[in-house]
Chain A
Amino acid sequence: MSRRHAAFLALIAGLLLAPRQGQGQSAQGVLAAAIRSYQNLDLDDAAGLLTRALTFQGPEALSRPNRSKALMYLAATELLRDHRDSALTVSRRLVAYEPRYRPSDLDFPPRTIALYDSARRATPAVFAAAPADTELRDGEMLVVRLFGSTYHQIQAALLRESGTALRILYAGPITDSLDLRWDGRDSSGVSVLNGDYRIAVESRDAGGRLVRSLRLPLAISRMIADTLPSPQPLASAAFLPERRPVGPALGAFAPALAAGAAVLLLPNVVAGSESNGSSKGRLVVGATATLAGIYALFRRHPGDAIPENVARNQVMRVGWRAAADSVARANIARRRDVRLRVRAGEPVVQGPEAP
């Protein structure tokens, strides 16, 4: 192998083994390396690394605090590199991205902080923080906290996803922060329908010019509590008979009737053709048996009400009715207890320095 071939192979191997940008090193790692370079005053490397850290997208992207920190270090780096305009631009990006951000004077020199403060004062911007998932009952409010970069005029409005304005929620000045309250209704006082909405906060400069807009997406849905099942109707088997049944009375009457009939028939059955001239006295027995049966029949009071059973059944009916009424009342309350579920998305800033 010639020396030229060996050098080519070494170059290929070096390219293959060299770490690729954005691979094998996280955005967080790149940011840490950039901060080390900044502290070592290796400003070109720091600027390059910070720019690279800010390019990570998606799940690998820097978190919001780290992205703010990266922007602040980039502004400081550019200022140290005597790129004041660039430092100012980065500072404005940071203000627009995170109006709440305040640099630490332990990490940054006063000159850098002063530059950032001047950029903040000159950059009207708003950040909105809303609970990710809220359930609003009637009379409750969704609270969206707005943070302003500096004193300026804003207007917050509820819009449909299509952009149609439904209600002006606030119009006026903001300093550090203010709470925006929304009761789930539009300007006419009607609860909004299910769907996608947004709260748009427009920041205006001293001249009243729209300089920046923040959109906070809201997904709205109604939550209705499940109703309770009504108690099962009482089965007829659960009730005791309220009237004395006829069956047992007839069951008592039947043997007596059979005895009476037997008295009449026995001479024929037993004596056959010799039954003529049978004793008439037997009719007394038959009549007595039949009368005893009639007495037994009415002794059992067929069809008469059974007061204790009527009372017990009434207690069961009243109990069931009370349970059913209780469930009905609970269900009315549940149907009235309509909650508005508001899920807030990530706020998006639209403006000249939108990150």
Chain B
Amino acid sequence: MSRATAIALAAGLCMAAASPPLAGQSALRLSAAAEGATVRARSLIPSGRERLDGYLFAGEGLLSRGRALLRLRYGQGRLTSDSAGVQPRSLTDGAALLGVAALPWLDFWAGPHARSYVTDLGNQRWLYWEARASANAQLVPGQLQSSFDGWVAVAGRVNVPESFGSARGAEVGVIALIARPALRLRLTYRIDQARLAAGRRETVEAVALSLGRDLR
């Protein structure tokens, strides 16, 4: 899928977001969250396999008005490996997703998702154009929710000689809503995998704990 298709998808989301808001969602709402995650990255490269473990600290902001949603995310971390000869990496991960609240429990998103690995040998940058669906299910109203995310890259780019193949990912978690103070505690597991045309695969897993609250 080309970048034009991704842009068309984002434009479609914008038009959907302009449709009448769901009840009680016309006000501007802003929430923020901080996240700490343990990360495991595995690479399948022609010369062999690499496994790196590390951490990632991220911040996330969510702006919504009516059906329109905007999600910004940025995180930095570091990955190291016990294997000799595997260079440690600095991990930077960020996304800017535009979304629409299709149903009270279902959102659709689209936008760029960038990730970079910085080693002593160089800088490797990945850019995906994501199409994502997020769903929430109430376990105990006002107390517990479960969340499901799935995404695919409709376009992508990576600064290596091989051309971009595909990428997809998913995220599952549990959200605890704390009344006082009004906080949102979220424990998730996410995994994504990017493939290059030549066969290289990059898989990143994370178990993340985030704490968020509504700012307005």
Residues on A facing B (Cβ under 8 Å): 252-253, 255-256, 258-259, 262-263, 266-267, 269-272, 274, 277-279, 281-282, 284-286, 288-289, 292-293, 295-296, 299
6 A-B contacts, Cβ less than 8 Å apart?
A255-B137, A258-B137, A259-B148, A285-B172, A286-B189, A292-B176
If over half of A's interface residues share one DSSP class (helix, strand or loop), that class is named, otherwise mixed; here it is helix
CB-nearest residue of chain B relative to A254?
B137
Contact A282 B205, beta carbon cutoff 8 Å:
yes
Chain B residues near A292 (CB, 8 Å)? Answer: 139, 144, 146, 174, 176
Query: Closest CB of chain B to A295's CB: distance in Å?
Result: 7
- Whether, in the assembled complex, B18 has its beta carbon less than 8 Å from a beta carbon of chain A, the answer is no
CB interface residues, B 17-39, toward A, < 8 Å: 38
Residues on B facing A (Cβ under 8 Å): 38, 40, 42, 44, 51, 137-140, 143-144, 146-148, 168-170, 172-174, 176, 187-189, 191-193, 201, 203, 205-207
Chain A residues near B170 (CB, 8 Å)? Answer: 262, 266, 269-270
Which of A271, A272, A289 is within 8 Å of B146, CB to CB? Answer: A289
Chain A residues near B138 (CB, 8 Å)? Answer: 252, 255
Distance between Cα atoms of A286 and B146 in the complex (Å): 11
Contact B191 A289, beta carbon cutoff 8 Å:
no
Distance between Cα atoms of A50 and B153 in the complex (Å): 127
Given A252-B139, A270-B191, A271-B193: A288 and B146 interface contact (C-beta under 8 Å) = no
Contact A270 B187, beta carbon cutoff 8 Å:
no
Contact B146 A255, beta carbon cutoff 8 Å:
yes
Chain A residues near B137 (CB, 8 Å)? Answer: 255-256, 258
Chain B residues near A256 (CB, 8 Å)? Answer: 137, 139, 144, 146, 174
Contact B201 A274, beta carbon cutoff 8 Å:
yes
Contact A288 B207, beta carbon cutoff 8 Å:
no
Query: Closest CB of chain A to B22's CB: distance in Å?
Result: 20
Contact B169 A285, beta carbon cutoff 8 Å:
no
Distance between Cα atoms of A263 and B172 in the complex (Å): 7
Chain B residues near A278 (CB, 8 Å)? Answer: 40, 191, 205
Known A272-B193, A274-B203; further 19 A-B contacts with Cβ < 8 A: A255-B146, A259-B146, A266-B191, A267-B205, A270-B169, A270-B193, A271-B201, A277-B40, A277-B42, A279-B40, A279-B207, A281-B207, A284-B187, A285-B174, A289-B174, A292-B176, A293-B146, A296-B144, A299-B143
Distance between Cα atoms of A256 and B144 in the complex (Å): 10
Chain A residues near B140 (CB, 8 Å)? Answer: 252, 295-296, 299
Chain B residues near A295 (CB, 8 Å)? Answer: 139-140, 144
CB-nearest residue of chain B relative to A290?
B174
Contact B168 A270, beta carbon cutoff 8 Å:
yes
Chain B residues near A277 (CB, 8 Å)? Answer: 40, 42, 51
Chain A residues near B192 (CB, 8 Å)? Answer: 270
Given A252-B140, A259-B146: A281 and B38 interface contact (C-beta under 8 Å) = yes
Chain A residues near B42 (CB, 8 Å)? Answer: 274, 277
Contact B191 A259, beta carbon cutoff 8 Å:
no
CB-nearest residue of chain A relative to B138?
A252
Chain A residues near B191 (CB, 8 Å)? Answer: 266-267, 270-271, 278
CB-nearest residue of chain A relative to B190?
A266
Contact A279 B205, beta carbon cutoff 8 Å:
yes
Distance between Cα atoms of A105 and B176 in the complex (Å): 118
Chain B residues near A288 (CB, 8 Å)? Answer: 174, 187
